[in-house]
Amino acid sequence: MKFSVIILLSFYLILSVYCEEKKKTLSWKDKNIMDMNDADFERLLDQWEENDEEKEELAPDELPEHLRPAKKIDFSKIDTTNPDELVKATKTGKSLMMFVDVKQDIPDDEAEKIMKIWQTSLQNNHIVIDRYPIEGKRSIFMFKEGSQSIDAKNFLIEQPELDHVSLEGQTYHGKYSSQQKSKGSKKSEL
């Protein structure tokens, strides 16, 4: 009986030594993820980053907007006294946000319908726009092509339900808004 226990222990010892040697001879690439240590993970990260550097560079139009090279603008061909032309020239190919406010006397559900109609009207005129409601009477109109925002602004200020739009730090009141009427009355007093 002692002899069989000694043989079993010897066999177990030989087997465990063999397994340890086998683990040591395995490449870090062949290891099970559960058996990897910090050094193996570092090597794996280095290999991952090597592959990233070898990739070809993307074409400029495939890059995210903030990484695209800036378009050259010839200001000699632009009327710099006209802010609309400046926005069109400088925002070509860039996204742009416009805040749109409906008159306060219009109910929220009606304001939502009106802004949907405006969005559809602009899209029917080939102006790519996404609308994000902020409050009941206020939305953000997001333009993928910023130069189209001027045409949208000109359309919106003609709408009787519009209070004002904010674009590039400028506020433009609607043609029928109370602010526009009060400005007109001040001018006539002078």
- Greater confidence, 65 or 55? 65
**64, part of any domain:** no
Q: What is the chain's mean pLDDT, rounded?
A: 82
Give the residue with greater pLDDT, 84 vs 25.
84
> Over 90: is that where the pLDDT of 140 sits?
yes
Domain holding 98, by residue range, is 80-189
69: in domain? no
Instruction: Establish if 27 belongs to a structural domain.
Output: no
98 lies in some domain:
yes
State the DSSP code for 2: H
Between 83 and 162, the higher pLDDT residue = 162
Structure tokens at 156: 């919106």
Is 61 within a domain? no
| CATH at 168 | 3.30.70.260
Tokens of 45: 């990260």
Please tell me the total count of domains within the chain.
1
What residue type is 68 in one-letter code? R
Query: What is the percent of the chain where pLDDT is above 70?
Result: 84
Residue 165 lies in a domain: yes
Under 8 Å between Cβ of 166 and 98:
yes
Domain annotation covers residue 169: yes
- Residue 9 lies inside a defined structural domain of this protein: no
Q: Cα–Cα distance between 28 and 116 in angstroms, integer?
A: 58
- How far are the Cα atoms of 32, 34, 90, 162 from residue 41, in angstroms, in the given order? 12, 11, 46, 59
